[in-house]
C-alpha cells in the first residue's frame, strides 16, 4: 500500500499511518494539498492528514482543504487515528544546548514546545520548516552544530542525529488526531459493532439562532457532537462555515434524521464522510444510542405493563427508594424565591421527616406576567439546600433543551402536567440518565399517561415515577379533582411507582392533608406536597401550600400509617393514624 503523508521519513504522519498500514510505502509530500493530489492522481492508494492537536487545536490547512478534497465524493474517509506526540530536540553528535542558536521544526510542533523553548532557549531563532522530520533532515544535511531540530525521537536514528533532550512538549498528554482516506470506498457491509464518526460542513444564514438550531438538531436526537470548528469563507468577508464531527455513521437512524433536519435548516450542507472512530488507547467508548422506538419492533407488552416486572419497580433517588414499603414524602415550595426561603424550608421539612426536597427553579405559569422562577440561580440554591440537609432534589424541567442544565443540579427531573405529552421533552428526559417524575396532565386519560411514561422507558430510562395530581372536571370548588380511581387502577396496571400530589389537586390548603392520606389509602407509594414558610405571601400557589406546622402534623400522620398496598399490587388492609 502506497500512502501519501505531509512530511517525510520519520514524520508523525508516517507513524500514524503505520498504525493502519504497518507495511506501507511512504509517499512524501510537502503540503497537505499535495497529499490529496497524490491520491487523486494514483501515485498513492491512500493518504493520512493531521487535523487537530490537543495543545494547539485545529490544523487549519487541513480544515481549509476538507471541503475541496472530500466534498465531491471521489475520495473516502476511512479511519480516525490518535497518536501521542512526544517531541525531542536533536542536533549533530556532541551538540549541547548552550551551542544552539537556531531551532527548526514545523510551526505546530514549535507551538507545542513553546514553554520549554521559552525557559531553556529564550534567545534562539525559531525557523518554521515544512515538516518535523524534514527539519531533522535539514540539520543533518547542513551539518551546522548551532542548529537543532524538534521532531519525533525516532527521526534522530533516521538521520543520524543525537537527542539532546527528550519529551520537551508542554504537556505529556499531547496528542494529534489524524484522518486517513482512500481513493476507493471500503467494500462490504458496515459492521455496526464498530463505533463510527461522521464529518460534515454546514453553512448557515446570518440570522439569530441558526447555529443553535443546527446543534439542537443533533441534541434532540441524542447525537453526540465531538468537534466543532469554524473557518472563514473565502471571497465572502465575515462569513463562516462550520465543521462538525459527530458520533455515528450517516446511515444511523438518529443521525440520518438529524442530517435531514439540518439540510432543511441550513443554506448548504456537505457530508464529508463516515469512518471508523479511534479504537486504541484513550478512546472514549460511548454507549451506543438505541434505534428510535418508532424504528424498532413493538414489544409484545408495553414497557410500563406490570407483567414486565410483577414484583414492582423501586426507583432510587440518592438514598431514597420510591416504590418500596415505606411511603415517601416529598416537600418544598412551589417555586424557589430566595436563598433564605429555600434553605429555611428545606431545613424545616427535613426536620419533620421529608425524604426529598421539591422546588421550582423554572415555573410554567398561566400568565406570562407572573413570576417565572429564578432559573439557573434557583437550581444552584436547590443544590445548596441539598448540601445542607442531605435531601435529594426534584425540580421541573420545561423544555428538552434545558434537560442538561437541570440534570446537572437535580437528582430527579419532574415533567409537569402541562408537558406530559411534550414528546421531545420526554425523549430528552429519557436520555438524561436521571430518574423522572411524570405528572399526569389535567385532561389526560390513564392510557395517555402510561404511554407518556412509555416514551421515557423506550428511550432507555427505567427510572420513572408516576404522579397523580388531579384532573379537570366540572367541579370548581377545588383547583382540580384528585383521581383516586387512577391511583388504584394504575397500581394494578403498571410496575412503576405511583405518587399523589394533593396540593395541585386541591388548590385549597385545608384539605391537602386529607387528600394526601386518601391518596396513600388508595395505593400511592408517597406524596408530594407544597410547603412554604409564609403561604399567604408566597409568589406562586400560596393557597395550596402548607406552613411548617401543618406539614409536620401531616408527616407525623403519614409516618404512623401502615403500608397500604404491597409492591405486588394486591390489596392490603389500610391503617391511617
pLDDT tens for 159-168 read: 999 999 999 9
Q: Domain residues for 513?
A: 315-363+372-559
**Separation between Cα atoms, residue 154 and residue 161, nearest integer Å:** 10
Q: Are residues 383 and 447 in the same domain?
A: yes
Neighbours of 374 (CB within 10 A): 22
Strands (E), 268-425: 268-276, 315-317, 320-322, 328-332, 356-358, 393-396, 412-415
Q: Are residues 223 and 117 in the same domain?
A: no
pLDDT tier for residue 570 given thresholds of 50, 70 and 90:
very low
Residue 232 forms part of a structural domain: yes
| Count of CA atoms in the C-beta half-sphere (13 A) of 340 | 2
Nearest to 214 by CA among 266, 169, 145, 279: 266
CATH number of domain containing 413 = 3.20.20.70
Residue 114 forms part of a structural domain: yes
pLDDT tier for residue 280 given thresholds of 50, 70 and 90:
confident
* Domain finish residue from 119, 151, 168: 168
Q: Are residues 553 and 466 in the same domain?
A: yes
Q: Are residues 200 and 162 in the same domain?
A: no
Q: Are residues 153 and 214 in the same domain?
A: no
Residue 47 forms part of a structural domain: no
Q: Is the pLDDT of residue 564 over 60?
A: no
Residue 150 forms part of a structural domain: yes
User: Which pLDDT score, from 0 to 100, does residue 289 have?
Assistant: 62
Query: What mean pLDDT is predicted for residues 337-352?
Result: 96
Q: How much of the chain, in percent, has pLDDT values that exceed 70?
A: 95
Residue 398 forms part of a structural domain: yes
Q: Is the pLDDT of residue 190 over 80?
A: no
Residue 8 forms part of a structural domain: no
Q: Are residues 347 and 479 in the same domain?
A: yes
What's the domain count of the chain? Answer: 3
Q: Are residues 410 and 335 in the same domain?
A: yes
User: Which pLDDT score, from 0 to 100, does residue 181 have?
Assistant: 95
At residue 435, the 3 state secondary structure works out as coil
The reported pTM is 0.76
Q: Are residues 336 and 220 in the same domain?
A: no
Q: What CA–CA distances, in Å, run from 180 to 81, 198, 277?
A: 8, 13, 11
Residue 333 forms part of a structural domain: yes
User: Which pLDDT score, from 0 to 100, does residue 366 have?
Assistant: 73
pLDDT by residue (tens digit) across 525-542?
A: 999 999 999 999 988 888
User: Which pLDDT score, from 0 to 100, does residue 295 have?
Assistant: 67
On whether the CB atoms of residues 437 and 527 are closer than 8 A, the answer is no
User: Which pLDDT score, from 0 to 100, does residue 206 have?
Assistant: 87
User: Which pLDDT score, from 0 to 100, does residue 256 have?
Assistant: 92
CATH number of domain containing 103 = 3.40.190.10
pLDDT by residue (tens digit) across 471-511?
A: 999 999 999 999 999 999 999 999 999 999 999 999 999 99
Q: Are residues 120 and 263 in the same domain?
A: no
User: Which pLDDT score, from 0 to 100, does residue 541 have?
Assistant: 86
User: What positions carry a catalytic annotation?
Assistant: 176, 178
Q: Are residues 416 and 527 in the same domain?
A: yes
Q: Which residue has the higher pLDDT, 45 or 206?
A: 45
Contacts of 73 (CB under 8 A, 6+ apart): none
**Separation between Cα atoms, residue 93 and residue 453, nearest integer Å:** 72
Q: Is the pLDDT of residue 571 over 50?
A: no
CATH number of domain containing 238 = 3.30.70.260
Q: Is the pLDDT of residue 294 over 80?
A: no
Q: Which residue has the higher pLDDT, 325 or 561?
A: 325
Query: What mean pLDDT is predicted for residues 303-312?
Result: 95
Mean pLDDT score of the chain, rounded to an integer?
Answer: 91
pLDDT by residue (tens digit) across 388-413?
A: 999 999 999 999 889 999 999 999 99
Q: Which residue has the higher pLDDT, 288 or 336?
A: 336
Residue 574 forms part of a structural domain: no
Q: Are residues 323 and 395 in the same domain?
A: yes
Q: Are residues 349 and 385 in the same domain?
A: yes
User: Which pLDDT score, from 0 to 100, does residue 234 have?
Assistant: 82
**Measured torsion, CA atoms of residues 59, 61, 65, 70, in degrees rounded to the nearest 10:** -30
Q: What CA–CA distances, in Å, run from 258 to 82, 247, 277?
A: 27, 12, 19
Amino acid at each position: 500500500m502506497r500512502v501519501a503523508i505531509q512530511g517525510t521519513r520519520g514524520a508523525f504522519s508516517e507513524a500514524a499511518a503505520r498504525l493502519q498500514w504497518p507495511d506501507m510505502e511512504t509517499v512524501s509530500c510537502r503540503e497537505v494539498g499535495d497529499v490529496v493530489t497524490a491520491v487523486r492522481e494514483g501515485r498513492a492508494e491512500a493518504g493520512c492528514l493531521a487535523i487537530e492537536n490537543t495543545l494547539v487545536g485545529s490544523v487549519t490547512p487541513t480544515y481549509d482543504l476538507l471541503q475541496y478534497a472530500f466534498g465531491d465524493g471521489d475520495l473516502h474517509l476511512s479511519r480516525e487515528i490518535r497518536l501521542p506526540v512526544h517531541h525531542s530536540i536533536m542536533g549533530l553528535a556532541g551538540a549541547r544546548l548552550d551551542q544552539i542558536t537556531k531551532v527548526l521544526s514545523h510551526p505546530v510542533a514549535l507551538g507545542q514546545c513553546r514553554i520549554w523553548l521559552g525557559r531553556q532557549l529564550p534567545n534562539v531563532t525559531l525557523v518554521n520548516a515544512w515538516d518535523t522530520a524534514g527539519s531533522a533532515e535539514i540539520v543533518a544535511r547542513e551539518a551546522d552544530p548551532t542548529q537543532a531540530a524538534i521532531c519525533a525521537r525516532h527521526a534522530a536514528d533516521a538521520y543520524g542525529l543525537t537527542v539532546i533532550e527528550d519529551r520537551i512538549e508542554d504537556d505529556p498528554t499531547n496528542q494529534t488526531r489524524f484522518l486517513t482516506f482512500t481513493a476507493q470506498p471500503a467494500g462490504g457491509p458496515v459492521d455496526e459493532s464498530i463505533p463510527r464518526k461522521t464529518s460534515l460542513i454546514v453553512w448557515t444564514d446570518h440570522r439569530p439562532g441558526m447555529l443553535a438550531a443546527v446543534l439542537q438538531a443533533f441534541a434532540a436526537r441524542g447525537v453526540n457532537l465531538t468537534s466543532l470548528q469554524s473557518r472563514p469563507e473565502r471571497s465572502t468577508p465575515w462569513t463562516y462555515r462550520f465543521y462538525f464531527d459527530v458520533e455515528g455513521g450517516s446511515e444511523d437512524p438518529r443521525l440520518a434524521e438529524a442530517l435531514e433536519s439540518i439540510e432543511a435548516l441550513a443554506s448548504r450542507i456537505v457530508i464529508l464522510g463516515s469512518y471508523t472512530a479511534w479504537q486504541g488507547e484513550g478512546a472514549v467508548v460511548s454507549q451506543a444510542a438505541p434505534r428510535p422506538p418508532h424504528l424498532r419492533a413493538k414489544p409484545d407488552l408495553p414497557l410500563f405493563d406490570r407483567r414486565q416486572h410483577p414484583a414492582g419497580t423501586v426507583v432510587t433517588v440518592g438514598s431514597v427508594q420510591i416504590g418500596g414499603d415505606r411511603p415517601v414524602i416529598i416537600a418544598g415550595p412551589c417555586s424557589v424565591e430566595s436563598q433564605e426561603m429555600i434553605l429555611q424550608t428545606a431545613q424545616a421539612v427535613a426536620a419533620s421527616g421529608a425524604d426529598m426536597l421539591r422546588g421550582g427553579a423554572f415555573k410554567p405559569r398561566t400568565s406570562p406576567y407572573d413570576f417565572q422562577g429564578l432559573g439557573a440561580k434557583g437550581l444552584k440554591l436547590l443544590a445548596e439546600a441539598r448540601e445542607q440537609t442531605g435531601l435529594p432534589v426534584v425540580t421541573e424541567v420545561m423544555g428538552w433543551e434545558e434537560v442538561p442544565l437541570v440534570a446537572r443540579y437535580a437528582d430527579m427531573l419532574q415533567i409537569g402536567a402541562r408537558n406530559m405529552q411534550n414528546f421531545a421533552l420526554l425523549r430528552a428526559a429519557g436520555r438524561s440518565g436521571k430518574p423522572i417524575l411524570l405528572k399526569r396532565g389535567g385532561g389526560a386519560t390513564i392510557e395517555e399517561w402510561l404511554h407518556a411514561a412509555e416514551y421515557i422507558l423506550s428511550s432507555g430510562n427505567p427510572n420513572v415515577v408516576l404522579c397523580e395530581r388531579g384532573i379537570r372536571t366540572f367541579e370548581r370548588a377545588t383547583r382540580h379533582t384528585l383521581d383516586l380511581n387512577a391511583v388504584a387502577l394504575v397500581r394494578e396496571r403498571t410496575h412503576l411507582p405511583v405518587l399523589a400530589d394533593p396540593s395541585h389537586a386541591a388548590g385549597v390548603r385545608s384539605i391537602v392533608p386529607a387528600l394526601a392520606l386518601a391518596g396513600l389509602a388508595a395505593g400511592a407509594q408517597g406524596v408530594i406536597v407544597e410547603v412554604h414558610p409564609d403561604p399567604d405571601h408566597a409568589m406562586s400557589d400560596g393557597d395550596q401550600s402548607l406552613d411548617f406546622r401543618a406539614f409536620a402534623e401531616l408527616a407525623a400522620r403519614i409516618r404512623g400509617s401502615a403500608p397500604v398496598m404491597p409492591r405486588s399490587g394486591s390489596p392490603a388492609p389500610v391503617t391511617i393514624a
